[in-house]
Amino acid sequence: MLSSWSGVKKTVCGQCGTGCRSYCDSKTRLVRDLTCGDARIYLEVAVRRVSCRRCGKVKRERLDWLSDNPFYTKRFVLVVGRRCRSMSSKDVAKDVHLDWHTVKRLEKQYMEEQLQRTGLPAPQVFGIDEISLRKGHTYRIVVSDLERRRPLWFGGHDRSAESLDSFYIWLGDKKGAGIRLAEMDMWKAFEKSTRTNAPQAAIL
């Protein structure tokens, strides 16, 4: 177990990024990092809270190496996300000794990071599918560029036509007009949204 040092006095608000020269309090937290052989490594970190003058609230400080889930480092999330590309979430969860639902949340963070790096795409052939976040029919939609073999968009509140409409709004009319082919299963909501937003596209 490693301990962090707190020599840097300036803290940064985790929400808006405003710098502060003081902090309200700090709390020691164990953060999961990369394994070393068969040993699981945790960092003992003193995470501070700042009274942000811009937000007007007390917020946790921003640490660049910490993921959106403050109990894991970014590089740990990166490794989990990469493994999910070639393994099932259940197998990854068993391998890293985490709950299946936790692995799915970390995979979502990984996918969002990949989307930010690739920039706004202009796909011509893409696939539409959904993933289940938990029991009880809780879904999110995943859209992938089949030619470049990479994810494009992850979102929505369910697998309804309205949720898929959010993807086409995000993509924009100009790039939506360039879609030639949309691959999907026989879920009518996906077909309805695609025919409305990209009527020129063939549906497979």
Interval 3-17 mean pLDDT = 60
Furthest C-alpha separation in the chain: 60
Crossing angle of helices 188-197 and 161-171, in 10° steps, is 30
Count of beta carbons in the 10 Å neighbourhood of residue 78? 17
CA-based nearest residue to 43, from 28, 25, 26: 28
182 to each of 89, 145, 162, 190, how far by Cα in Å?
26, 10, 17, 10
pLDDT at 3: 40
Percent of the chain at pLDDT above 70? 91
Q: State how beta strands 39-51 and 25-36 pair.
A: antiparallel
The residue with greater pLDDT, 4 or 42, is 42
The amino acid present at 145, given as its one-letter code, is D
- What type of residue is 114? Q
Task: Give the rounded distance of the alpha carbon of 48 from its chain centre.
Answer: 24
For the chain, which domains are there? 1-65 (no CATH), 67-119 (no CATH), 120-203 (3.30.420.10)
* Residue 8 reports pLDDT greater than 60: no
At 2, the pLDDT band (50, 70, 90 cuts) reads: very low
| Rounded-to-integer distance, Cα 87 and Cα 104, Å | 12
Closest CA to 115 of 86, 85, 144: 144
pLDDT of residue 6 exceeding 60, the answer is no
In this prediction, residue 136 has a pLDDT band, given cuts at 50, 70 and 90, of low
Mean pLDDT, the chain, as a whole number?
85
Q: What is the pLDDT of residues 103-131, one digit of tens each?
A: 999 998 898 888 777 666 788 999 999 98
Amino acid at 21: R
- The residue ranking higher by pLDDT, 40 or 63, is 40
pTM value? 0.56
CA distance 127 to 143: 6
Q: Of the candidates 60, 75, 59, which has an alpha carbon nearest to the alpha carbon of residue 110?
A: 75
Alpha-carbon gap, residue 76 to 81, rounded angstroms: 9
User: What is the tens place of the pLDDT at every residue in 66-76?
Assistant: 888 889 999 99
Higher-pLDDT residue of 92 and 46 is 92
Whole-angstrom distance, CA of residue 46 vs CA of residue 67? 15
Structure tokens at 200: 């020129």
Contact (CB, 8 A) for 24 and 51: yes
Between the alpha carbon of residue 183 and those of residues 25, 77, 201, the distances in Å are 52, 29, 10
Amino acid at residue number 25: D
